[in-house]
Structure 1
């Protein structure tokens, strides 16, 4: 493998490139996951601010050493990044950056990543491989936990020592489970976009606490012209299978959006792109564009619940655009709904788990309107949490839920 240097303008692009390079070099999935998560945490703030980062991958000068050096450089950063607490410890790489030297299981391949025949590995498949390794580790700890319990019940000697050991294993299990959930959330859910003039926050709740992933996903980023793009997806099913389907849709929409395709065509083009890739995929899709400067917003829809617009004075109305989702007959948005966020106005985007917990969907929408009106003036990070908690006081059937809030800043009120 020859030295490589790439420049990245989005977190998704950085993760995909680094994950593929690490896979090509033969880095084990667990170590690869830690490396990608560490680089993502350090680069997230710079990329969200619109400043590119660069990635250098350098094989060891001695083939028999079997190691790879990865350097992340943040040329726009004012100070060196904080390196404490990273999943994979790093060394500082002046003037602003970090470096990791990763051991490899064998000699470094002389060919660069992607030079071999065939398409590059699917980033979703690599992510699933990493998740599977984490699951295997968790299963191993669970089996050991059960073994110790059996030993404790079969003997009366050494009970106290076994009890202490069991408690230690329990603590390891809890920590491993917590790390796994945190790593999965970091990989699947991007941090809020930073856009002058807008406040954004999100609340995600899985259908079951022991199944942290599902088919409800969101994606948000800034386009080159400064417009904020938001995608909401609700894929049929639960667990990792539906997560993969939702990831496929969000990745397709993001790629098409960055290529400059018109908002109205995104759902149809995403469905066309994925038609031969996943024959069983069915998902509702909603895509929104907001101009942070003017508050102008445009919305296209594919079988997804309507967005709710809450004015500063408490007036509300739903934004609807007819259309059908990915996997539905004749997919695509038939129209684009247009409106404007004035200072103090709130836009609420959500998946059906927020409203279909009621017997009548219309009752769910009515309750949602009332809850959004009551909580619209809270600090933005509290808004989706408060609305979700109020809506879920009654649950008739569990479902994954995403509640995403966007509010245009009232600078006059803030400055006053």
Structure 2
């Protein structure tokens, strides 16, 4: 069938012509108003500027043969000129609508149209819209523009009602989903809390196994505070050990193994066990650091640890210290005088390990001995400043109950932490027996 070409000078005429063409082709209402709206957007600027546009339409071909040619495709006169190149019909049963802007200064934009269009050479656009294979027969009195608009409005209202129902249904489904997710979240929170509690119990049991309780002997009060570098880590390489020797003296070991986590814990345990064994076998205190290195070097080649050993007679208050690269002990007298007890030596895994000498002193009633690892004094990367702050904190808290002193000292020392590390703070106070 021949294409019908109409010259249009207004948007109202363009919309009316397209609606009638689409109605005759049997297009659904939604496609009809999408087509009219898209063509209006393409031609709107031209018609507003007073320049005409050409509308060419080809009705869809039907299986029963071509539609009568004497039925006009659009209202209005056809142009006298030749038709633009286009097929006589669409074999796939589609309505073909071509919009040509002969006087447009530039090609029209086809982006974001309600019904996408194909771009043609020049300033033309074309829509190929699928049409029903068997549309309803046209009435003798085709509907007017008002009826077509009312039909489109009714379809739009129905579509809006359907969307509103879908929206309400989705809101209901979302509410049910949210309720289920919330219930699941509560269950997960409860399970997570149970796991945290179980994890905490395991950590406490592990710490109890690694950190023996204070020795109870007449004449001495003892307490300890441990703080890991990372709160979630069960332990680290900072350990201690204390026990009573057969002669009644108390032996104390403080170890700081290189690294963090379970590997350093294993290394520190090896050191404390070796020291305990050697001490109970009666080896002289001045030889134990070197002997420990000798024992452990055969099966732990990467072990490096600092260690401090203390012997304290609870009856006389006599104190003996040996050291292997460990921070010095702090002695605070009952009156408040404080001094660092420094002993030179090299730790386990260091070149020429061992304590160079023994340091001897005596604790009087009320005197406080503080043994610790470097995480207590080096939290700000300045050991000397840390030692001064430690002396100040120990003097401040020396008269508190012994169970409170290590943690109180650690709290004072860790008000600012620039270099977090595992920390052991161990205190021994001599009292009247």
- Smaller-chain TM-score range? 0.5 to 0.7
Whether 1:209 aligns to 2:242 is no
SS in 2 for 1:270: helix
Distance in 2 between residues matched to 1:317 and 1:207, nearest whole Å: 27
Whether 1:331 aligns to 2:337 is no
Residue 225 of structure 1 deviates from its aligned partner by: 1.2
**1:361 to 1:157, Cα distance in 2 relative to 1, 3 A:** closer
Equivalent pair of 2:254/2:307 in contact (CA under 8 Å): yes
Equivalent position of 2:244 in the other structure: 222
Question: In the alignment, which of 311, 320, 323 is matched to residue 301 of structure 1?
Answer: 323
SS in 2 for 1:366: helix
Whether 1:175 aligns to 2:197 is yes
Question: In the alignment, which of 239, 248, 257 is matched to residue 270 of structure 2?
Answer: 248
Equivalent position of 1:367 in the other structure: 389
Residue 160 of structure 1 deviates from its aligned partner by: 4.6
Distance in 2 between residues matched to 1:392 and 1:160, nearest whole Å: 40
TM-score, with length taken from structure 1? 0.61
Distance in 2 between residues matched to 1:328 and 1:338, nearest whole Å: 24
Whether 1:237 aligns to 2:259 is yes
Distance in 2 between residues matched to 1:187 and 1:402, nearest whole Å: 16
Equivalent pair of 2:381/2:419 in contact (CA under 8 Å): no
Residue 171 of structure 1 deviates from its aligned partner by: 2.3
Whether 1:262 aligns to 2:278 is no
Aligned 1:284-363 pairs, distance under 5 A: 284-363=306-385
Residue 155 of structure 1 deviates from its aligned partner by: 5.0
Whether 1:162 aligns to 2:171 is no
SS in 1 for 2:279: helix
SS in 2 for 1:365: helix
Equivalent position of 1:188 in the other structure: 210
Distance in 1 between residues matched to 2:292 and 2:364, nearest whole Å: 31
Distance in 1 between residues matched to 2:412 and 2:432, nearest whole Å: 26
Distance in 1 between residues matched to 2:389 and 2:183, nearest whole Å: 55
Equivalent pair of 2:227/2:423 in contact (CA under 8 Å): yes
SS in 1 for 2:299: coil
Distance in 2 between residues matched to 1:217 and 1:273, nearest whole Å: 19
| Deviates most, 160-169 or 296-305 | 160-169
Equivalent pair of 2:220/2:428 in contact (CA under 8 Å): yes
Whether 1:278 aligns to 2:300 is yes
Distance in 1 between residues matched to 2:228 and 2:375, nearest whole Å: 10
SS in 2 for 1:398: coil
Distance in 1 between residues matched to 2:179 and 2:417, nearest whole Å: 48
Distance in 2 between residues matched to 1:163 and 1:371, nearest whole Å: 46
Distance in 2 between residues matched to 1:173 and 1:253, nearest whole Å: 37
**Deviation sequence 1:159-205 (CA, Å, 0-9, x none):** 35423422331222112111121111111100110010000000100
**Deviation sequence 1:340-378 (CA, Å, 0-9, x none):** 000010000000011111242111111111111111111
SS in 1 for 2:392: helix
Distance in 2 between residues matched to 1:168 and 1:382, nearest whole Å: 34
Residue 156 of structure 1 deviates from its aligned partner by: 4.3
Equivalent pair of 2:253/2:308 in contact (CA under 8 Å): yes
Distance in 1 between residues matched to 2:188 and 2:338, nearest whole Å: 55
Equivalent pair of 2:223/2:427 in contact (CA under 8 Å): yes
**Deviation sequence 1:194-226 (CA, Å, 0-9, x none):** 010000000100001011210000000101111
Distance in 2 between residues matched to 1:211 and 1:161, nearest whole Å: 31
Distance in 2 between residues matched to 1:331 and 1:156, nearest whole Å: 65
Residue 157 of structure 1 deviates from its aligned partner by: 6.3
Distance in 1 between residues matched to 2:245 and 2:189, nearest whole Å: 50
**Deviation sequence 1:248-270 (CA, Å, 0-9, x none):** 00000001001111110110000
Structure 1 stretches lacking a partner, 5+ long: 1-151, 412-416
Distance in 2 between residues matched to 1:168 and 1:396, nearest whole Å: 35
User: 4+ residue stretches of structure 1 with deviation over 6 A?
Assistant: none
Structure 2 stretches lacking a partner, 5+ long: 1-173
SS in 2 for 1:349: strand
**Deviation sequence 1:117-163 (CA, Å, 0-9, x none):** xxxxxxxxxxxxxxxxxxxxxxxxxxxxxxxxxxx9x9546335423
| Deviates most, 368-377 or 355-364 | 355-364
